[in-house]
Structure formats: C-alpha cells, structure tokens
Amino acid sequence: MKAADIVQQLDLEDIHIVSVVGSGLSKASGMPTFRGKDGLWKTYSALDLATPQAFKKDPNLVWNWYKWRMQALLTAKPNPGHDALVKLEKMGLSLGIITQNVDGLINFGNSSEHIVEIHGRIRYAHCTKCDHIQRWDSHEYAVADDSLLYCPYCKDALLRPDVVWFGESINPKHLQKAMNWIERSTIMLVIGTSGTVYPVANFPHIAKQQGTTLIEFNVTRTPLTPICDYFMRGPSEQTLPKFVDALLSKKV
C-alpha cells in the first residue's frame, strides 16, 4: 500500500506515535540482521555467544564476536529510516522509540531521551562485579586479538557488553517507560522487526487491544502482519521516509 493512501485514511487530529524498531532498520547502515536470510544466527549459535553461560565458559569467544560487530558499527552511519524517526520527533508527533537494536544508531542521529534501548547498548560495557559502565566503541578496543576488557576499579573483574543476553531480564524501568508510551499511543510503527522476540513481540498486540492503529514496515510478512492495519512492503530506509514525508505534508 502506498504511503499517501495510508496517511489519507488516518485520523490526523490527535497523533501520538510510538515506534517499535528491529534490526531491519539498521541493515542499510551495514549492520547485519539476526533472523533474515543473511542473519548472524545463520552462522553463529546464539547459545554460543549471547548468554551469561557462554560468557562464563568462553569470554574470549564472546568478546571477539562483539569486537567483530563493533568493527562494522564503527563505520556505520544512520540511514534515511533513522532520519525519518528524527523528523517525527522534531515535529512533536513521536512519544518515543522502543528499539530492539543495540547499535546506538538512533542515538547517534538523535540525542533525544525519548528512546528505550530495550535490549541494551553494545557501545557500552559494564563490570561483572560492580556498577561501573564505560564506552568501548573505539578502534582501540575493537580488535579481535583474544584480549579481554577488565574493570579499571575492580581490576580482576571482567567487563561484558552492556546488552541483555538470552535468559536475562529486561530492565523494569525500560519496560515501564515503553508501556507508558504504548498506553498513550494512537499509532504504532512496527519497523523491521521479526516479531518473534518477546516481550517486544507482544507490544503490538497490547497496542491493538487498546485501539492503536498499527503500521508495519518490512521486506516480508511477519507473525505481526495479520494484526497490523497497514503493511508497507520494502526496505524501511525507503518506505519509512515516504510515510513520514506524506504524514508531515498533511500536518503542515
């Protein structure tokens, strides 16, 4: 469906948009997706790389994988899809962005506080013993040389990526903030997500139950497509800017 046709059918009197973002948004920035045909999980097992048990068993393997990902991230830049979300906020139409991505590319293009990085932040590392958190997104650290990162305060305690691994709980403050936005939303944009990772995959269902209009942007249909009111097929860096521009042309 064309962006202009969707906008034509929306109630534009009182718009409160919340966006749920998956890895498809960052693919055009050079970041591989996790569950697409070229996804990282096709090459690596999540249980080997993204669990507390895996880190305890082989921290070198886990850190080298994250360093490899950081090498790609250091050259990545926000794409037109990220820019479109920034436009929505500047126009005062966005309640917030709930992103499953840990790459920080939305923050890179937009320093707003209206972002919940629900699965954490790969650009940061935290101590496994104390509360210390530090950035490690530099060429100095992103070298796959089997070196480990240690806390400068605890000395012998390892740093680990500041992300939520499989089997770990999401920060309850982040969940609460996301739920507050969902409860206030009139439109939810579901962007580049597989719709299979919970609890985020449940957010569109919650929004739908309260009458929020759901608009999905993806290259293929997902488990969320049947409950969405509109579906824009194609890369989100192409479809999302078209939708935002069409929306803003009606609001200006």
Least confident of 101-115, 117-131, 168-182: 101-115
Residues taking part in catalysis: 119
Instruction: Give the rounded distance of the alpha carbon of 139 from its chain centre.
Output: 23
Mean pLDDT value across the chain: 89
Residue extents of the structural domains in the chain:
1-31+78-119+170-252, 32-75+120-163
What residues form DSSP beta bridges with 162?
121
* pLDDT for the residue 252: 59
Q: Are 81 and 236 in contact (CB under 8 A)?
A: yes
pLDDT band at 250 (very low <50, low <70, confident <90, very high): confident
pLDDT band at 40 (very low <50, low <70, confident <90, very high): low
Instruction: Determine the Cα angle at 88 with ends 225 and 174, to 5°.
Output: 70
* pLDDT for the residue 158: 96
CA distance 13 to 125: 43
* pLDDT for the residue 30: 78
Question: Which residue spans within 58-201 are E strands per DSSP?
Answer: 94-99, 115-117, 120-127, 133-135, 159-163, 187-191
Residue 63: which of 168, 133, 158, 156 has the closest Cα?
158
Average pLDDT on 174-193 reads: 96
pLDDT in tens, 212-238: 999 999 999 999 999 999 999 999 999
Q: Are 151 and 134 in contact (CB under 8 A)?
A: no
Average pLDDT on 10-33 reads: 87
Provide the token pair at 158.
């390892």
Helix (H, G, I), strand (E, B) or coil at 118: coil
Q: Which fold has domain 1-31+78-119+170-252?
A: Rossmann fold (3.40.50)
* pLDDT at residue 42 greater than cutoff 60: no
CATH superfamily of 32-75+120-163: SIR2/SIRT2 'Small Domain' (3.30.1600.10)
CA distance 75 to 73: 5
